[in-house]
């Protein structure tokens, strides 16, 4: 169970992360492109101090933004990727991170150079583990074909409407851990805290019905049901909230288990590739 910080503004990220740690979260997820690493680092230190923890008690993930030529950006080369990591460490105020990911496969011709930079960081210990995000099978195969060590994790959109069985089977075969984002995308009522942005689209706000019915059956919220589905499926999950009570609710998943018949029912709801991201986008392979 991690605490996600996507779209949490820099000016409130420190207080949000501290509150999350105080509520029991020990995995904090951020990224270069979120533009909140400084506040996240401040929140980590404040949370550690408030709870009498040590740095090793908190698992910290951040991500390299690779650059996207389609957006007018120059994809980062190996040295630029290393420099971006150093900047992230400086903003976070840390000596290392537990997991460093390439945020997307948009690096194109620099994709392998960026992965080689992450291998450098793993070797010198500044990134304890390394991985990717939003990579599909072809992107991972490209790494294997180059004779390079494979990612340890792939952070992808996963929820009952986007289950990616082929990608997950491939990842399992190669020992790549799945980390789920957008776990709460199917919520019939999207809960947005005051002052917090959401990437929710009109399509995803429609009421699927079944999630509310199952939540009522187990006496939990829809959010708890969806997060429990992810945990039972074997994924790390990264809910976010600025509301301390929702933070507490989201992490409180130990009192129930979705039974086998309902897990089977939820498996029938797969709509395909995803709402936030398309890992099957053919334009991402050069």
Query: What is the SS3 assignment for 129?
Result: strand
DSSP state, residue 150 = P
Instruction: Report the pLDDT value the prediction gives residue 31, as an integer from 0 to 100.
Output: 98
Q: Inform me whether the pLDDT recorded for 193 exceeds 90.
A: no
**Using 50, 70 and 90 to split pLDDT, how confident is the model at 202?**
very low
Tens of pLDDT, residue by residue over 124-178, are 999 999 999 999 999 999 999 999 999 999 999 999 999 999 999 999 999 999 9
Total Cβ atoms within 10 A of residue 164: 23
Instruction: Report the pLDDT value the prediction gives residue 272, as an integer from 0 to 100.
Output: 87
Q: Inform me whether the pLDDT recorded for 4 exceeds 80.
A: yes
Query: What is the SS3 assignment for 178?
Result: strand
Specify the residue for token string 């290392």: 96
Q: Inform me whether the pLDDT recorded for 89 exceeds 60.
A: yes
Query: What is the SS3 assignment for 233?
Result: coil
Given a contact cutoff of 8 angstroms between Cβ atoms, the answer to whether 128 and 106 are in contact is: no
Name the pTM for this structure.
0.92
Buried b vs exposed e over 5-34: b needs ≥16 C-beta within 10 Å?
bbebbbebbbbbbbbbbebebbbbbbbbeb
Question: Chain-wide mean pLDDT for the chain?
Answer: 91
Instruction: Report the pLDDT value the prediction gives residue 167, as an integer from 0 to 100.
Output: 96
Tens of pLDDT, residue by residue over 45-59, are 999 999 999 999 999
Of 6, 25, 34, 235, the active-site residue reads 34
CA-to-CA distance for 211 and 213, rounded, in angstroms? 5
Residue whose C-alpha is closest to residue 10's, from 91, 80, 86, 82: 91
CA-to-CA distance for 6 and 196, rounded, in angstroms? 10
34 in catalytic set? yes
- Report the share of the chain in percent with pLDDT over 70: 89
Given a contact cutoff of 8 angstroms between Cβ atoms, the answer to whether 60 and 20 are in contact is: no
Q: Inform me whether the pLDDT recorded for 187 exceeds 90.
A: no
**Using 50, 70 and 90 to split pLDDT, how confident is the model at 280?**
low
What is the domain class of 3-273 according to CATH?
alpha beta
């Amino acid at each position: 169970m991690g605490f996600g910080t996507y779209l949490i503004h820099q000016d409130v990220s420190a207080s949000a992360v501290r509150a999350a740690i105080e509520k029991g979260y020990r995995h904090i997820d951020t990224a270069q492109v979120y533009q909140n690493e400084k506040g996240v680092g401040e929140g980590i230190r404040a949370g550690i101090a408030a709870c009498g923890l040590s740095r090793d008690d908190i698992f910290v993930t951040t991500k390299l933004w690779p650059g996207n030529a389609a957006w007018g950006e120059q994809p980062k080369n190996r040295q630029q990727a290393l420099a971006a990591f150093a900047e992230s460490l400086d903003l976070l105020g840390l000596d290392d991170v537990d997991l460093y990911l390439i945020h997307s496969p948009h690096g194109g011709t620099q994709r392998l150079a960026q992965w080689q930079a992450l291998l450098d960081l793993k070797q010198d210990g500044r990134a304890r583990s390394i991985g990717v995000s939003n990579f599909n099978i072809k992107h991972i195969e490209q790494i294997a074909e180059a004779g390079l060590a494979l990612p340890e994790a792939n952070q992808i959109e996963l929820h009952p409407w986007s289950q990616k069985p082929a990608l997950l089977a491939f990842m399992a075969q190669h020992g790549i851990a799945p980390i789920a984002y957008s776990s709460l995308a199917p919520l019939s009522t999207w809960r947005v805290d005051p002052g917090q942005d959401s990437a929710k689209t009109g399509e995803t706000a429609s009421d699927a019905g079944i999630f509310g019915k199952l939540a009522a059956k187990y006496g939990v919220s829809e959010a708890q049901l969806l997060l429990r589905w992810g945990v039972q499926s074997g994924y790390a999950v990264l809910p976010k909230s600025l509301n301390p009570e929702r933070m507490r609710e989201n992490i409180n998943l130990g009192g129930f288990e979705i039974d086998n018949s309902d897990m089977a029912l939820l498996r029938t709801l797969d709509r395909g590739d995803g709402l936030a991201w398309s890992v099957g986008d053919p334009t991402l392979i050069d």
